[in-house]
């Protein structure tokens, strides 16, 4: 719901005056429900980038202004999982430029 509120506020300078019929908490469920082309959703592009590229989903409108959601990755300086953390950091950096 927070992404929907931010999107609505950024593009319409107002809060949405409706509540969605369903809130699906799983990316795969959202894509599956929308792939049969009978639904509509406000969903962040990073959750459905591949489906948009393959044509499973259609982009209706990007919005007037770009909405960014900054995520922070915290870690300890000394840890026994340094190798695993560097793999995760590499994944985040790779996704940042797509």
* pTM: predicted TM-score of the whole model, two decimal places: 0.58
What is the maximum span of the chain, computed from C-alpha positions, in angstroms?
Answer: 50
Counts of helices then strands in the chain (DSSP H, E): 4, 0
* DSSP-derived secondary structure letter, 80: T
Domain count, the chain: 1
Q: Between 98 and 16, name the one with better pLDDT.
A: 16
Q: Which residues contact 41 (CB under 8 A, 6 or more apart)?
A: 30, 33, 34
The 10s digit of each residue's pLDDT in 26-83 is: 777 777 778 777 777 777 777 788 888 888 888 888 888 877 777 788 888 899 999 9
On whether the CB atoms of residues 24 and 30 are closer than 8 A, the answer is yes
* pLDDT, position 77: 86
* Boundaries of domain holding 52: 2-58+68-96
Q: Tell whether 63 is covered by a domain.
A: no
Within a domain: 39: yes
Both tokens assigned to 11? 């593009």
pLDDT at position 98, please? Answer: 57
């Amino acid at each position: 719901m927070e992404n929907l509120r931010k999107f609505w506020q950024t593009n319409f300078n107002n809060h949405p005056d409706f509540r969605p019929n369903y809130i699906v908490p799983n990316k795969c469920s959202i894509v599956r429900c929308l792939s049969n082309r009978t639904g509509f959703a406000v969903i962040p592009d990073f959750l459905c980038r591949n489906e948009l590229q393959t044509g499973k989903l259609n982009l209706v409108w990007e919005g007037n202004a770009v909405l960014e959601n900054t995520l922070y990755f915290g870690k300890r300086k000394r840890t026994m999982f340094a190798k695993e953390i560097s793999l995760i950091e590499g994944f985040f950096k790779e996704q940042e430029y797509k």
